[in-house]
Every structure is written in structure tokens, then in C-alpha cells.
Amino acid sequence: MAIVLTVTNQKGGVGKTTTATAIAAGLARRGARVLGIDLDPQGNLGFCLGLEGNGPTVLDALQGKIRVQTAIRRLPLVDVLASDITLSSSGLDKLPPGERESTLRKTLEPVMDYYDYVVIDTPPALNIITVNAYVVSDDLIIPMNTDILSLVGLSQLRETIDSVRMQLNPDLRVLGILLNRFTKRTRLAKDVLDMADTIAKQIGTKVFDTKIRNSIAVAEAPAHGEDVFTFDRHSTGARDYESLIDEIAKDIKLEEVLADGKV
């Protein structure tokens, strides 16, 4: 059964897609079978993983128009369930309570034993699509920028997580908060780190030891339709994300999964 990791924050511009891309690519480069799922109507995750052209989307599978196996698009490194702007009007909110929040989990059931990890990129909103991601997830990763405004709204995110835990997914875990665009020597970075530590304790998690520093490669890689490792594996950004993968790998038991011979 695949372990599902969801990258989430209702605030935009905090590096969700870049982080989801790096995690998916990083796990795959270590030998895991990975499915990336784009739940953002902007559809950038597939592009960043090298997906080209139009084709079936995750919405087609969610609405039962095609089997999820048919909707998945195969790439050399990571398979992808792509998205586009049509996901912004998914229609899931019109389904009966209980069904509307669990549609993604039901949709993915036929392929969960095929993959080792599923990595989900969520929209910058706490909507029914995001809740569907939380319901199917084992772990959440919360990226945020090193500024005070990025801390605003995390209390609302905590409320959503607590609600999902109480009603739909009691085992949901927050793996950690990831600080992006981090400049260690500034007073602001220290203040944000202190506040992030406080928030992390409130939601029962930690701030990752790894901080993603400002990096031209991280900024430029998406424009080229590549993950940061493919774009420039010697860059500061690639090294930082490699360190993050090391941290995550311990928590999600990557070595045990690979040792079981699933890959």
C-alpha cells in the first residue's frame, strides 16, 4: 500500500509545487515507484515533472469518466495524474456528505498497491479538493516562506487538519513545516523560525532541520519543465532538497520499503 504525502498550504507562492516536484523526483531517484498527483487547477506539477501535451486529467478519474489507470500518464521518472483549469469546478461539493470528501481515496484504490509513494500537490485554498487530499494522506508537509505573512492562516489550516482527523482520517500526521527562501543570518529569519517552532508544537509536528535557501536553480527549474535535480543537481537548491529527502526518508521508512523488494 502506497504512503501518501501531501504538500499543502492555503497561501499561494510558498513553494508547494516546487517542493512536491522535488520530493516526488527525489524519492523516485532513490528507487521508489512514485505517482505525482496535481490537485491545483493551475496544472504546474505535471509540467515541472516533464509532462507535455494535453491528455486525461485527475478530474476525469474523479468524475468516473475513465479509470484511474487510464488517467495516469507514464513518465520515465514519475507517473502523473495531471490537472488543468477544469478542476476548479470539480462538482465534488454537490455529492452527499462523506462521499464528497472521500472521492479521491476511492478513485485511487485500484493503484495504491502499485506505487510505493504518492505525492500530492494541493491548490492554494482550503476547499473540498484539499480536504480530499487530507483524507487520503498519511502525512502532510507544510511549506512556508520566511516572512511573517506566511504564518498568517496557519491556525485555519490547523483547524482543517483537526477536523479531518476527528471525522475522516484519524491517522493523518503533519510530517513537518518546511521553511523556503531562508536566509539564516537575518533577524527576520530567526523571528519566523521561532514562531514556526511554536506553531509546529501546537499542531504536533516539527520544523524540518533542512531549510531551503534562496536559489536561482529552484526559481528557474519550473520554467524549463524540470525538477531541480534534473535542472542543476549541483545547485544550492538541489543540495537543500536532497537534504530534505534525507529527513523525509527516515520518517516514511524509505529504506524499509525498498528492502521489502517492492521496487
C-alpha cell at 38: 496535481
pLDDT, tens digit (0-9, with 9 covering 90-100), for 126-169: 899 999 999 999 999 999 988 777 777 787 888 889 999 999 99
pLDDT grade for 59, boundaries at 50, 70 and 90: very high
pTM over 0.85: yes
CB 1 within 8 A of CB 35: no
Q: Which three cell numbers stand for residue 149?
A: 505573512
C-alpha cell at 201: 508544537
Q: What percent of the chain shows pLDDT beyond 90?
A: 62
Res. 261: pLDDT tops 70: no
Asked whether residue 177 carries a pLDDT value surpassing 90, the answer given is: yes
Mean pLDDT, to the nearest integer, of 93-119? Answer: 93
For residue 176, which of 130, 145, 133, 140 has the smallest C-alpha distance? 140
Distance CA(8)–CA(122), nearest Å, equals 6
pLDDT-based confidence at residue 181 (cuts at 50, 70, 90):
confident
Q: Residue 189 — φ and ψ, nearest 5°? A: -60, -40
**Contact (CB, 8 A) for 22 and 137:** no
pLDDT of residue 263: 43
Region 67-85 average pLDDT:
95
Query: What phi and psi, each to the nearest 5 degrees, are found at residue 101?
Result: -80, -15
Assess contact for 207 and 189: CB atoms under 8 A: no
